């Protein structure tokens, strides 16, 4: 990891020094550093929206963009993805220099405007990162109960495709007339039903 990246991590730890604001989740000379920043930004109605920003700085950062995940109980998955895309687009302008603090400041000031824009899904990513980084609270599991299944073969194929697309693992269980789906994967890929 570059000296500038090490200095940035030290600075971030000093800036985000409140309870739970900063946590290094993993660090390795081969996979880089994964850390979480908890912050707040102004939402559409002027309310404080808590944001959990997960950054993965690869070993060649800042020459390569960081991987970014955005989580918030106040945002839909689509809104979180839009915020992530806008952060990555902003990061492209800061390539080759430490950028995490700039990105956090940018989203604090611009979340309201980002949420006001129509959602776009470019799906483009720069650089490849090690997959399967499990962080506390990042791996989720859910159990779904299905009322019925008309075309079993087609339904099973559809569920398998969705699980694969979302990088989820799981089991489809038939117990008499009870049909259950157990899914496990990244928190952002498992939608929690609103009550």
Judged by DSSP in three states, 124 sits in coil
Q: Measured on CA atoms in the order 131, 137, 139, 140, is the torsion positive or negative?
A: negative
- Give pLDDT, residue 121: 44
CB-based contacts of 54, cutoff 8 Å, min separation 6 = 25, 34, 35, 36, 68, 69, 70, 71, 135, 138
pLDDT-above-90 percentage for the chain: 43
Q: For the whole model, what pTM was predicted?
A: 0.61
- Give pLDDT, residue 119: 52
pLDDT at position 93 over 50: yes
- Give pLDDT, residue 132: 38
Q: Average pLDDT, whole number, for the chain?
A: 83
- Give pLDDT, residue 120: 46
SS3 labels along 30-72: CCEEEEEEEEEEECCCCCEEEEEEEEEECCCCCCCCCEEEEEC
C-alpha closest to that of 62 among 28, 100, 24? 100
C-alpha closest to that of 32 among 132, 99, 136, 129? 129
11 vs 164, higher pLDDT? 11
Quick one: which H or E segment has residue 85? helix 77-92
Condensed to tens digits (0 to 9), the pLDDT of residues 31-42 reads: 899 999 999 999
Condensed to tens digits (0 to 9), the pLDDT of residues 114-169 reads: 998 765 444 433 343 333 334 445 577 788 888 877 888 888 888 888 888 888 88
Chain position carrying tokens 């990246």? 5
- Give pLDDT, residue 191: 64
């Amino acid at each position: 990891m570059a000296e500038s990246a090490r200095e940035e991590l030290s600075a971030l730890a000093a800036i985000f020094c409140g309870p739970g604001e900063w946590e290094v989740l993993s660090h390795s000379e081969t996979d880089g550093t994964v850390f979480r920043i908890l912050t707040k930004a102004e939402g559409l109605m002027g309310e404080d929206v808590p944001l959990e920003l997960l950054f993965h700085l690869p070993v060649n950062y800042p020459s390569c963009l960081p991987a970014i995940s955005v989580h918030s109980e106040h945002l839909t998955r689509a809104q979180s993805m839009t915020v992530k895309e806008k952060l990555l687009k902003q990061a492209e302008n800061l390539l080759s220099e430490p950028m995490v603090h700039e990105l956090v400041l940018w989203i604090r000031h611009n979340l309201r405007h980002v949420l006001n824009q129509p959602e776009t899904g470019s799906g483009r990513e720069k650089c490849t990162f090690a997959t399967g980084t499990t962080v506390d609270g990042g791996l989720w599991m859910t159990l779904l109960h299905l009322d019925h299944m008309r075309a079993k073969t087609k339904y099973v194929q559809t569920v398998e495709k969705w699980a694969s697309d979302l990088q989820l693992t799981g089991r489809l269980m038939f117990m008499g007339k009870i049909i259950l789906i157990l899914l496990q994967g990244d928190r952002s890929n498992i939608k929690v039903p609103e009550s």
